[in-house]
Amino acid sequence: MVDETIAVAQAGGVALDKAAITAKIEFALANHRDHKASMLQDRLAGRTTEIDAINGAIAQRGTALGVATPVNATLADMVRLISRVEQGRS
């Protein structure tokens, strides 16, 4: 996901520091193991997630810029599918 996000940002003229992003992710994984991400909290509470505004947006912008984003697109599709199944729609 990080590589795809960086590629989309770069294609759009935004420079991101992969090492800084990776360091923040590694810190969070090491120091916040019991944390529940907001999307997980939303799913557990039966609320709509922000998947379209995050991974969905990366995938959409990637398509517009000609950058492949299979991981972000698949993740967004999976979260949407889970939401539909839990709401009784498939």
Instruction: Give this prediction's pTM.
Output: 0.87
Domain residue limits at 69:
2-86
14-60 pLDDT per residue, tens: 999 999 999 999 999 999 999 999 999 998 998 999 999 999 999 99
How would DSSP label each residue in 10-32?
HHTT----HHHHHHHHHHHHHH-
Higher pLDDT, 18 or 86: 18
- Looking up residue 48, the CATH number of its domain turns out to be 1.10.1040.10
d(CA 59, CA 17): 20
User: pLDDT tens-digit profile of 52-82?
Assistant: 999 999 999 999 999 999 999 999 999 999 9
For the chain, the domain total comes to 1
